[in-house]
Amino acid sequence: MLAALRPDGRGLTVVGDDAQAIYGFRAADVRNILDFPAQYGPGVRVIALQRNYRSTPAILDASNAVIAQAATRHAKRMWTDRASAQRPRLVTLDDELAQARWVADGVLARREEGIALRQQAVLFRSAAHSAAVELELTRRRIPYVKYGGLKFLEAAHVKDLLAVLRWAHNPRSRLAAFRVAQLVPGIGPAAARRAIDTLEGAAEPLAALQAFTPPPGARTEWQAMATLIHALHLDGAHWPADVDAATRWYLPHLQRLHPDDHAPRAADLAALGRIAAGHASRERFLTALTLDPPAAGSDEAGAPLRDDDYLILSTIHAAKGQEWTAVSVLNVVDGCMPADMATGSAAEIDEERRLLYVAMTRARQHLDLLVPLRFHVTQQHRFGDRHVYGGRSRFVTPDVAALCEEVGASAEDRDGAGRRSAVATPIDLGQALRARWD
């Protein structure tokens, strides 16, 4: 259209940033920006807009070092005249749970320093990466809004599995029973209510559950569900093995209910199992993650009230064009950033690099790049500790790391003395700040 309107290019001006071209999955192509000048010959002027009014010099230096690795780009170096001596932090942590605690501690600490929750953001490559952080925020009652995906605890499949555990823990829970009963094929709302009414009047609800006569087409599946609830109720001491048992029962229903995206949803349930292992008992786990009543939640993440204070959780794609005083970027490790499914070509890797650049340049004053060392393997013994090690993202080269303040084992091991340092343990601010927060 532009070529037809202005064949010689005279009077035509276009504006774009190749460093922020991150929508390849929507068929956008960075070559549209990079190749545009060549369409109009030597008379084209490329004017680099390099002054930045958002971020500190240290954040821009690290961001410039990341994007400078790109094989092809319009050369520019962002700068600012803002004064700040604080460098971005490159934080090495034990695992995803330690990462979640670090984020929550940092959010509360900055809030005490006068930075409102709305001025802070947690960014991630994929919506599933925030699961552990969301559960930690919920446990500490830190309000948040998630953009770029459903809240972890509001996703239907997570609610389903938690409802199974809640019903097994308390056989008289109508809310949990009503949800789980309808997971059985052939059981609708009317049959579910009839079953719940029968159980409510019984002296032994679990016995009544197994004796209940469902519609003919649902009898086999109903008995399987009733057997599971009865076994989980009796074996409540075998925590967190009952999470695995509930998940095994639920997975066939997950595939039936969500045929198009059951694989990522199953990954969410695996993450929930890993998080459950960090709680001493089923009762403590369910208490920490109490399901919202129907009037207070839904399967859609909604917009907050304007006067509320809340932390921002967002995918990097949804964060483009936004800015916050403090930004934490999760899982800056290979396999997450770049994503393991986006390394099939040089062009894909370049776009993943631009994603990290976009995430880093959302920060005004404080930037944390978080690097968990271990990712736990699923389907192991409840006391098992099998895991794989995550490698720092290939985009965080030695030149980039030198522009950051390294926090954790890697920073203390650089002296080459062969001493093994402990990974930095996040300060537990929750107990100290909870009274004031309440």
Going by C-alpha positions, the residue among 397, 392, 416, 373 that lies closest to residue 99 is 373
pTM given for the model: 0.67
Asked if 371 and 310 sit in the same domain, the reply is yes
Rounded to an integer, what distance in angstroms lies between the CA atom of residue 403 and that of residue 213? 68
In a domain, 73, yes or no: no
Going by C-alpha positions, the residue among 105, 145, 96 that lies closest to residue 437 is 105
- 3-class DSSP state of 70: coil
E strand map for 252-340: 311-315, 324-329
In a domain, 368, yes or no: yes
Asked if 356 and 402 sit in the same domain, the reply is yes
Structure tokens at 411: 């920073």
Residue 319, exposed/middle/buried by CB under 10 A (0-12, 13-18, 19+)?
Answer: buried
- 3-class DSSP state of 104: helix
Rounded to an integer, what distance in angstroms lies between the CA atom of residue 124 and that of residue 103? 12
SS3 content of the chain, % helix, strand, coil (to 5): 45, 10, 40
Asked if 130 and 188 sit in the same domain, the reply is no
Rounded to an integer, what distance in angstroms lies between the CA atom of residue 12 and that of residue 35? 15
In a domain, 387, yes or no: yes
In a domain, 84, yes or no: no
Asked if 432 and 319 sit in the same domain, the reply is yes
Asked if 358 and 309 sit in the same domain, the reply is yes
Asked if 237 and 262 sit in the same domain, the reply is yes
Domain containing 364: what range?
Answer: 89-151+302-437
In a domain, 287, yes or no: yes
In a domain, 70, yes or no: no
Asked if 289 and 200 sit in the same domain, the reply is yes
pLDDT for 424: 39
Question: Are residues 367 and 121 in contact, defined by beta-carbon separation less than 8 angstroms?
Answer: no
Q: How many domains does the chain have?
A: 3
What residue type is assigned to position 260 of the chain? D
Rounded to an integer, what distance in angstroms lies between the CA atom of residue 175 and that of residue 156? 14
Asked if 420 and 345 sit in the same domain, the reply is yes
pLDDT for 307: 54
Going by C-alpha positions, the residue among 56, 45, 90 that lies closest to residue 356 is 90
Q: Domain containing 146 — which CATH number? A: 3.40.50.300
In a domain, 83, yes or no: no
Q: Domain containing 185 — which CATH number? A: 1.10.486.10
Asked if 190 and 287 sit in the same domain, the reply is yes
Asked if 328 and 420 sit in the same domain, the reply is yes
Asked if 280 and 308 sit in the same domain, the reply is no
Asked if 228 and 264 sit in the same domain, the reply is yes
Rounded to an integer, what distance in angstroms lies between the CA atom of residue 173 and that of residue 167? 6
- With b meaning 16 or more CB within 10 Å and e meaning fewer, what string describes 159-172? bbbbbbbbbbbbbe
Question: Are residues 269 and 277 in contact, defined by beta-carbon separation less than 8 angstroms?
Answer: no
CA 232 to centroid of chain Cα atoms: 29
Domain final residue, candidates 261, 280, 296: 296
Structure tokens at 20: 């922020």
Q: Would you write out the chain's pLDDT as a tens digit for each of its 438 residues?
A: 888 888 888 888 889 898 898 887 777 888 888 888 888 878 888 999 999 999 999 999 999 999 999 988 888 999 999 888 789 999 999 888 899 999 999 999 999 888 989 999 999 998 888 888 998 998 898 999 888 766 777 788 988 999 999 998 888 888 899 999 999 998 888 888 888 888 877 778 888 888 888 888 888 999 999 999 988 887 655 788 888 899 999 999 999 888 888 888 888 888 888 888 877 888 888 877 753 333 333 344 555 555 578 999 999 998 988 999 999 999 999 888 898 787 778 888 998 999 999 999 999 999 999 999 887 655 555 555 666 677 899 999 999 999 999 998 444 343 333 333 333 333 333 443 343 344
C-beta atoms surrounding 211 within 10 Å: 12
In a domain, 139, yes or no: yes
Helix (H) / strand (E) containing 375: strand 363-376
Over 12-51, what HEC string results? CCCCCCHHHCCCHHHCCCCHHHHCCHHHHHHHCCCCCCCE
- The DSSP secondary-structure symbol of 153 reads G
What contacts 125, CB < 8 A, 6 or more positions away? Answer: 315, 316, 330, 331, 336, 337, 339, 355
Structure tokens at 82: 């803002």
Domain final residue, candidates 296, 313, 342: 296
Domain final residue, candidates 254, 270, 296: 296
Cα–Cα separations (whole angstroms), residue 308 to 33, 109, 116, 169, 312: 39, 19, 11, 34, 12
Helix (H) / strand (E) containing 194: helix 189-200
